Amino acid sequence: MWSVHGELEKKLQDSNATPMSLPLEFLEDITCDFSTESVLGEGGYVIVYKGVLRSGKIIAVKKLFEMRLKEETFHNEVSNLMGIKHQNVVQFIGYCAESRWEAIETPSGSGKHVLAEIPKRLLCFEYISNKSLEKHISDESLGLEWNMRYKIIKGICSGMHFLHDACHIVHLDLKPENILIDSTMTPKIADFGLSRIFGEQESRIVTDNRAGTCGYMAPEYLIRGVVSNKADIFSVGVIVIEIITGHRDYPYFQQDNPHSTAASLQQFTEKVLLSWRNKFISTPNYKSTERSIRQVRQCICIALECVDPGMEKRPTPKDILEMLNGVDKMVANDELQSDMHCKDMLQALNTTVSNDPTSQNRSITNDMLNKETDSKLVANVKSVEGLSLTPLPESNKISEIVKGWAEKASSKPQPTSDTTIVQAIPALTQIISREIPKKRMVSLDVNLTESWIATGHEDGYIDICDYIMQKSICFIKTEEHGYFPVNTIKFIERKQWFIVGLGPGSGKIYVYNYKPEVQKITSFRVKRYFLGINSLAVHPTQPYVLSSCSGYIQLWDWDKNWECIKTFKKLSYFGFELELAFNPKDANIFASASEDNTVKLWSLD
């Protein structure tokens, strides 16, 4: 017998071994005959025991209650777990499906016994020492630090991506109690008793058996019995909200009042962000506040998309991972650009500019679309099937243009008694410092018919100043409630308008008159608005504006009351088109510079 047990233990030491049938006697031996001292936990239908091998290795032995045993649930879990190996899915080791004849007293206390065949059903898994996610959930004021919560969120989504795409499994009972946390705080999805396997051509089924946990069940599954991957996504959204806030409360979606819903979601997002920002600021020596705030905002936006009652509006796990990886790349790029900007500024202080400044400010877009660049930049531009690529612009061209504007401004009248402070640096440039906005600038545009510069700010303010007269033209806030960054701002000179695109949490485009006075004309939202607008571009002759948001490019016609007349096919969920520009030589074509380091050419046709 010991030789048989020894052979089994040897196989269990191999982490790559296929899950095997384990004798009941062996499981009794390693759990001290299922003693109370070996109990790790207990649920409604199971008791989990600690099984200790002679080598010291521990495994978890899940014993199903005989009187409440559902054979279908047991068979389902075994068949679905066979062959699954992923770092974010608990590893299935083996199973036991035996029966024993036992004398059962019936009815209880009668002293009469009958001989009955009792099924013994057990499942064995890798031992996870740090309990379930439920034990680690709290609000931002205590418990896990943000970096750890973010790691757990990404791990859960990675596990679900594997289950949905590689295994075609819908879990159907995803909740914190069914996500185990190991010693490295890596999440592992567990408990597949209710899971379903879809055929490759299946996307949904309808069932009368609507088992699950209220609060985590998608409405279409709970009410109509619709089973699909999107049911799990709903559960993921609730869990992410719980991880971030410590509770699973979120705004109610009013299907018949989308504006009210949007306002509630914005307020919820800002409240969560404020709580975390205060947490980061109050933490001594916390150095990554802005990086973490972006991650919190992105996670909340994703979670709110996941719990949308409209199942078709929910993202896939792959989409979610692309969004999370994308925001990490954007933060890393911003930090790199910040370092490069500091280096450029230091170099600029030792540079002498020619006395013949360029005035080709109207040809920037043309240069962007046609100017060749050095081989290093071209080498970084990846090809995209079906799309033409064009080189990126030389950065010193734009620098020369800005220097030209500054030299012109330096010979103009002195500042008025406004809040503008001007510091002249001889033979180089001019610095115009705006004191009113306290948050950093995130966007800028120059009016081609007026001597105006417009800047958009992180807290939702727009500042337009006259760079010749050096006075303020207007200073306004876009949203009455909330502070959403003005990611992009563009003048439409022929209409005497300017338009702005707001960042994550809002995703609105605002349209303003600027003559005879600044006045809001209208506002509207883009597709995937929770993730914010990245760029806007104005057509040179037609009444069109392009917007990009989360991989979607939309074309708006202001003569048709800002109707979206075309949506361009997204190449990837988070392949942000960071900048858009029409070709001035052929306005039927526009270019996009993407977060994936490609430049794409598109046709309006």
> Quick one: pLDDT at residue 284?
87
Lowest mean pLDDT among 54-68, 239-253, 410-424: 410-424
Whether 514 has a pLDDT exceeding 80, the answer reads yes
> Domain check: are 448 and 463 in the same one?
yes
- Per the prediction, the chain carries an average pLDDT of 80
Residues paired with residue 97 on neighbouring β-strands, in sequence order: 121
Would the pLDDT of 141 be above 80?
A: no
Q: How far is CA 160 from CA 82, 310, 322, in A?
A: 17, 20, 13
Query: Of 136-150, 401-415, 572-586, where does mean pLDDT reach its minimum?
Result: 401-415
Kindly list the distances between the CA atom of residue 257 and the CA atoms of 250, 254, 480, 527, in Å, as whole numbers in the listed order: 17, 5, 19, 17
> Do 441 and 541 share a domain, yes or no?
yes
Give the per-residue pLDDT at 385: 36
Query: Do 144 and 82 reside in the same domain of the chain?
Result: no
Q: What is the largest CA-CA distance in the chain?
A: 111
Looking at the fold, whether 6 and 96 belong to one and the same domain comes out as yes
Residues ≥6 apart with Cβ < 8 Å to 114: 103, 104, 106
Is residue 152 domain-shared with residue 183, that is, in the same domain? yes
CB contact at 8 A, 460 and 479: yes
Q: Are 203 and 101 members of one domain? A: no
Q: Which of 173, 191, 445, 596 is catalytic?
A: 173
Most confident option among 101-105, 139-143, 288-292, 533-537: 533-537
Question: In b/e form, how buried is each residue of 147-163, taking b as 16+ CB within 10 angstroms?
Answer: eebbbbbbbbbbbbbbb
CB atoms within 10 A of CB 48: 18
Domain at 541, CATH number: 2.130.10.10
- Please state, in angstroms and as integers, the Cα–Cα distance from residue 503 to each residue in 266, 429, 454, 486, 556, following that order: 12, 31, 17, 6, 18
With 90 as the cut, is the pLDDT of residue 307 above it?
Answer: yes
44, 145: one domain: no
Beta carbons within 8 Å of 409's beta carbon, 6+ residues apart = 430, 432, 467, 468, 470
- 468 & 579 share domain: yes
What domain range includes position 547?
413-603
391: in domain: no
Residues 48 and 191 both lie in one domain: no
96, 139: one domain: no
User: Is residue 245 situated within a structural domain?
Assistant: yes
DSSP-derived letter for residue 89 is: B
Q: Considering the domain boundaries, does residue 159 fall inside one?
A: yes
Residue range 70-87: mean pLDDT, rounded? 83
Per-residue DSSP letter, 178? G
169: β partners: 197
- End of a domain among 87, 109, 126? 126
Clarify whether residues 116 and 176 are in a common domain. Answer: no
Q: Could you tell me the pLDDT band of residue 26, with boundaries at 50, 70 and 90?
A: very high
Q: Using omega within 30 degrees of 0 as the cis cutoff, is the peptide bond preceding 516 cis?
A: yes
392 within a domain of the structure (yes/no): no
Q: Report the distance separating Cα 586 and Cα 83, nearest Å.
A: 56
For residue 378, what pLDDT is reported? 35
Looking at 268, 300, 330, the residue that finishes a domain is 330
- In whole angstroms, what separates CA 573 from the centre of its chain? 10
Answer whether 302's CB lies under 8 Å from 319's CB: no
Rg for the chain, CA atoms, rounded: 30
Give the pLDDT of residue 343. 58
Same domain for 91 and 73, yes or no, is yes
- Considering the domain boundaries, does residue 401 fall inside one? no
The DSSP output letter for 18 is: P
- Is 70 domain-assigned? yes
Q: What is the pLDDT of residues 349-393, one digit of tens each?
A: 555 444 444 444 333 344 444 434 333 333 333 333 334 343 434
Q: Which residue has the higher pLDDT, 537 or 363?
A: 537
Q: Given 97, 126, 155, which residue is the final one in a domain?
A: 126
Q: Is residue 246 part of a domain?
A: yes
Query: How many CA within 13 A on the CB side of residue 505?
Result: 28
**Is the peptide bond preceding residue 187 cis, with omega within 30 degrees of 0?**
no
Is 355 contained in some domain?
A: no
Q: What is the pLDDT of residues 48-78, one digit of tens each?
A: 999 999 889 999 999 987 665 677 778 878 8
CB 583 within 8 A of CB 591: yes
Domain CATH for 293: 1.10.510.10
Say which range, 70-79, 180-189, 276-285, has the weakest mean pLDDT. 70-79
Number of domains into which the chain is organized: 3
- The reply to whether 173 belongs to the active site is yes
Question: For residues 601 and 553, is the Cβ–Cβ distance under 8 A?
Answer: no
Name the packing angle between helices 229-245 and 289-306 (round to 10°). 140
- Select the more confidently predicted residue: 535 or 208: 535
pTM (2 decimals)?
0.64
Distance CA 13, CA 19 (A): 12
Instruction: Quickly list DSSP for 267-286.
Output: HHHHHHHHHHHHHHHHSTT-
What integer is the mean pLDDT of 153-162?
A: 96
Give me the pLDDT at residue 431, please: 56
Q: How sure is the predictor about 190, in pLDDT bands with cuts at 50, 70 and 90?
A: very high
For the chain, helix (H) and strand (E) counts, in that order, are: 12, 29
